[in-house]
Chain A
């Protein structure tokens, strides 16, 4: 068990103050990393982010952060990607052309369908509170990020693109929009991601942040 230290990667993208405050509320000692060395010395890493995939990936590469994140993932450091941060963990995205991601979780990021499963038009972005259901892996949520979450708890989503796992065993939770099951929470060993914003999901979201500290 590590201490409660946690480092948020600051690459100029996203509302890091809310993520920081959410983890502090859960009792973490939060650091911000704006250099490669600060990433490499982290006990736990959080990759936040909103906006376009390519902008996010370009920033990580330009700042030299992508290699540092990959090295940390390799060495077993717990990593949590939030929203765009989760999508960046995947192999590639088709948002504004094809862009390679960090490749820590196999799969790709594609646009959410503009029509629902029964053919009605679907508003994009998907914005709002949705509950979670079991993912393709069918893994129980005990001893994971979701150990304190029930299927009636709702989380705040805001996204136009969605990740599709290349390996079902990485899919920990899904959430429904327009009749489709969208990837909500992923895990591959020490690498975790959630599409929604736990730091903006009230008490349920705080429980998830707390579980990231307690279970890793």
Chain B
């Protein structure tokens, strides 16, 4: 769930934001459908240098009892502390740890690996390599996504949220090659994000890579699919998902 100010928004390739509604209304609906986890991203936070989601988080946890990851604009141990204190279970970091990888170690030492998700926005460059972007896709880094994923896992992140910028919001299916490369190369769980159009896209990325989880935004937000559609597709292809009655 990408959030700008008080609104849930959706972008295409991290650009062109469209307002969809109240984030917590969508979140509660997903919780009632049996979603496994929720991710809140403050997608203008990098621009202002701070995350502004703690109020939204503390309201969300009143009625939502699944794990909540919060990202966007997290720059310091204090930022992490504030979000965890508001009720987040994990924080997702990108720009700040690319600039200072030691921040990963500091967060892990203080709060544990389980609360740190490394968010990698990867875009295919002209050399045929996936490059890490920061600042919500605005800045190129020259950093190779595979090298960065391996380094992040070594520094102790608990999970990697891998977004294909080329596919994000495009409904063209996951970038299976990218997801396979990263998920087969690191020892921590990887979440694939960006491009899901159909439930079959979910099945394909699970079957063809070592990915551990899938993040869905566009297809759910626009109600093209619901959580049960994904669950049924998974079951019919022998993919183990949470039993939800």
* Residues of A in contact with B (beta carbons under 8 Å apart): 15, 17-18, 21-22, 25, 50-52, 55, 84, 114, 121, 123-125, 127-129, 131, 152-154, 156, 158-160, 197, 199-203, 205-206
Instruction: Tell me if B188 and A154 are in contact (CB < 8 A).
Output: no
User: Is B17 located at the chain interface by the 8 A CB criterion?
Assistant: no
Residue on A with the closest CB to B57? A17
Is the CB–CB distance between B112 and A51 below 8 Å? yes
Report whether B114 and A159 are in contact in the complex, using a CB–CB cutoff of 8 Å. yes
B245: A residues at CB distance < 8 A: 152
Q: How far is the CB of B78 from chain A (nearest CB, A)?
A: 14
Tell me the smallest distance from the CB of A55 to a CB of chain B, in Å.
8
Residue numbers in A under 8 Å from B242 (CB-CB): 128-129, 154
Residue of A nearest to B191 (CB): A127
C-alpha spacing A23/B72, complex, angstroms: 30
Interface residues on B, range: 20 to 34
Q: Which 4 A-B pairs have the closest CB atoms?
A: A51-B112, A129-B242, A17-B87, A158-B114
Which of A114, A125, A206 is B65 in contact with, Cβ under 8 Å? A206
Q: Which residues from chain A contact B67 at a C-beta distance below 8 Å?
A: 156, 158, 197, 200
Nearest CB to that of B114 among chain A residues? A158
With A152-B243, A205-B65 in contact, is A125–B113 under 8 Å at CB?
yes
- The answer to whether B212 touches A125, judged by C-beta atoms less than 8 angstroms apart, is no
Q: Is B88 an interface residue (CB 8 A)?
A: yes
Q: Does B219 sit within 8 A of A, measured CB to CB?
A: no
Query: Is there an interface contact between B113 and A200, defined as CB atoms closer than 8 Å?
Result: no
Are the C-beta atoms of B65 and A202 separated by less than 8 Å?
Answer: yes
Task: Assess A18 versus B243: contact at CB under 8 Å? Given A124-B187, A125-B114, A129-B36.
Answer: no
Contact (Cβ within 8 A) A21 B62:
yes
What is the minimal beta-carbon distance from B210 to any residue of chain A, in angstroms? 8
> Is B7 at the interface (CB under 8 A from chain A)?
no
Are A18 and B61 touching (Cβ within 8 A)? yes
Q: Does A18 lie within 8 Å of B87, measured CB to CB?
A: yes
Known: A15-B84, A51-B111, A127-B212. Is A201-B65 also a contact (CB below 8 A)?
Answer: yes
Residues of B within 8 A of A50 (CB): 111-112, 114-115
Q: Which residue of A lies closest to B81 (CB)?
A: A12
Expressed in whole angstroms, the Cα–Cα distance for A153 and B31 within the complex equals 16
User: Which residues of the partner chain A approach B23 to less than 8 Å between Cβ atoms?
Assistant: none
B114 contacts A17, CB within 8 Å?
no
